[in-house]
């Protein structure tokens, strides 16, 4: 097995591990959001300002996790491009 293939497999393994962990976090956050929303629906004594704050918080963490995902994907794309160009340059 050539070095390029081995390095790309290592990168893909790391990316796959990140993807799995990220999807697990999304699932946990989404389930927590559902539980909190169910609680808020039943807790009529909570002021609307608090509900609005929780909705803003939810939107903020969703944006944060989407931004993180984009940064990590961009990083993997850059490293894959770097490794490919590095090894193609070495083979010439």
Per-residue pLDDT of the chain (92 residues; tens, 9 = 90+): 688 889 999 999 999 999 999 999 999 999 999 999 999 899 989 998 998 999 999 999 999 999 999 999 999 999 999 988 887 766 65
Q: Residue 15 corresponds to which tokens in the numbers above? A: 């990316």
Domain residue extents for the chain: 3-91
Q: Residue 45 corresponds to which tokens in the numbers above? A: 């004594």
Q: How far apart are CA 37 and CA 12, in angstroms?
A: 37
Q: Any idea which residue has 């929780």 for tokens?
A: 54
Q: How far apart are CA 74 and CA 68, in angstroms?
A: 10
* Residues 33, 58 contacting (CB under 8 angstroms): yes
Phi and psi (nearest 5°) for 74?
-60, -40
* Residues 91, 55 contacting (CB under 8 angstroms): no
Instruction: Name the residue among 6, 11, 3 with its Cα closest to residue 81.
Output: 11
């Amino acid at each position: 097995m050539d070095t390029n293939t081995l390095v790309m497999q290592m990168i893909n393994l790391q990316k796959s591990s990140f993807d799995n962990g990220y999807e697990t976090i999304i699932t946990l956050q989404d389930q927590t959001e559902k539980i909190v929303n169910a609680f808020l629906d039943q807790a009529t004594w909570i002021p609307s300002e608090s509900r609005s704050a929780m909705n803003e918080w939810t939107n903020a963490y969703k944006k944060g996790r989407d931004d993180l995902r984009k940064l990590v994907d961009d990083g993997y794309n850059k490293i894959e491009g770097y490794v490919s160009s590095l090894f193609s340059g070495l083979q010439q």
